[in-house]
């Protein structure tokens, strides 16, 4: 995580999150589905699912929505067999992109993803073509008053949890830890009464590609938005870092 401008990255992520408040149910539902698929439908035995359900409650998601998402991930509900699929390649500016999907029709999903890559002049690669640039990490996002670096560090220290990075910008904090520490981080946060608005096993790039061209940044952002809006897509990861100048230019265009 070292050697890059994490502040512009965090501000960009925070701005993107704020712009998508209307899609929060979709995002949380996808995390519940992924958690239930990987660790089972019992939140008492599945820390990732427990955290996703807590985030759903914090977002005031109806219990019926939560139950449906759990059943879908665990293979219940409509009886459809859900398969985890992963696609990877390059977007504009050499930015690496990985999109993980959950699908009941492998051929449909593959065709759709290929179409998106082609439409936005991106290059869909073979398995492993860009994933070697990323590492699986436990990721937690804390927003609001609890996004205090000193307090979060103290909470995790008291819980005996060894994390790799805590980044804070105003009222937005990211905690990055080894994937095997997910349960321990969650337990420490729960004991302190802190609810993560996002929690997942994410793919974190070892190094970031700084984008200094506004048009390239807009192109990549549009492509990512299209992938994130796709029904079968669960998670989208990139190694893009936007420079402060480009971030400011993008914000000016949005205002």
Distance of CA 40 to the CA centre of its chain: 20
pLDDT value of position 16: 55
Q: Which of 139, 176, 178 is nearest to 55 (CA)?
A: 139
pLDDT value of position 3: 35
pLDDT above 70 covers a percentage of the chain that reads 88
Is residue 72 a contact partner of residue 82, using CB atoms and an 8 Å limit? yes
H-type helices in 61-206, by residue range? 63-74, 106-119, 149-158, 182-191
Q: Which of 65, 189, 103 is nearest to 139 (CA)?
A: 189
pLDDT value of position 80: 65
pLDDT value of position 98: 97
Q: Which of 109, 110, 101, 107 is nearest to 37 (CA)?
A: 101
pLDDT value of position 12: 55
Strand positions, DSSP E, the chain: 83-90, 96-103, 123-125, 134-143, 165-169, 172-177, 198-205, 209-211, 233-238, 240-242
Residue with tokens 């060894």: 162
pLDDT value of position 220: 93
* Contact partners, residue 85, CB within 8 Å, separation at least 6: 100, 101, 102, 103, 106, 109, 110, 232
- Rounded to whole angstroms, the Cα distance separating 214 from 234 reads 27
The low-confidence residues of the chain, meaning pLDDT below 50, are 1-5, 7, 18-19
pLDDT value of position 9: 57
Sequence spans of domains, the chain:
1-255
Please give the structure tokens belonging to residue 60. Answer: 């005031």
Distance of CA 97 to the CA centre of its chain: 13
Residue with tokens 């729960």: 190
pLDDT value of position 58: 78
pLDDT value of position 2: 33
pLDDT tens track for 144-175: 999 999 999 999 999 999 899 999 988 899 99
pLDDT value of position 117: 97
């Amino acid at each position: 995580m070292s050697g890059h401008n994490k502040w512009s990255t965090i501000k960009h992520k925070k701005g993107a999150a704020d712009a998508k408040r209307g899609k929060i149910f979709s995002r949380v539902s996808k995390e519940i589905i992924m958690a239930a698929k990987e660790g089972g439908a019992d939140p008492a035995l599945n820390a990732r699912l427990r955290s996703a359900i807590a985030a759903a409650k914090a977002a005031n998601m109806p219990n019926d929505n939560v139950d449906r998402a759990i059943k879908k991930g665990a293979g219940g509900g409509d009886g459809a067999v859900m398969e985890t699929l992963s696609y990877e390649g390059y977007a504009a500016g050499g930015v690496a992109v990985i999109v993980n999907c959950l699908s009941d029709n492998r051929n449909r999903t593959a065709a759709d993803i290929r179409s998106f890559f082609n439409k936005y002049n991106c290059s869909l690669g073979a398995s492993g073509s860009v994933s070697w640039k990323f590492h699986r990490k436990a990721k937690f996002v804390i927003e609001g008053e609890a996004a205090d670096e000193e307090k979060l560090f103290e909470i995790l220290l008291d819980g005996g949890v060894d994390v790799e990075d805590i980044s804070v910008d105003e009222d937005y904090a990211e905690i990055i830890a080894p994937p095997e520490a997910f349960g321990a981080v969650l337990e420490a946060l729960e004991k302190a009464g802190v609810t993560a608005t996002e929690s997942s096993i994410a793919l974190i790039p070892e190094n970031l590609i700084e984008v200094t061209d506004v048009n390239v940044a807009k192109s990549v952002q549009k492509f990512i938005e299209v992938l994130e809006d796709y029904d079968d897509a669960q998670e989208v990861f990139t190694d893009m870092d936007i420079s402060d100048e480009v971030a400011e230019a993008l914000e000016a265009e949005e205002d």
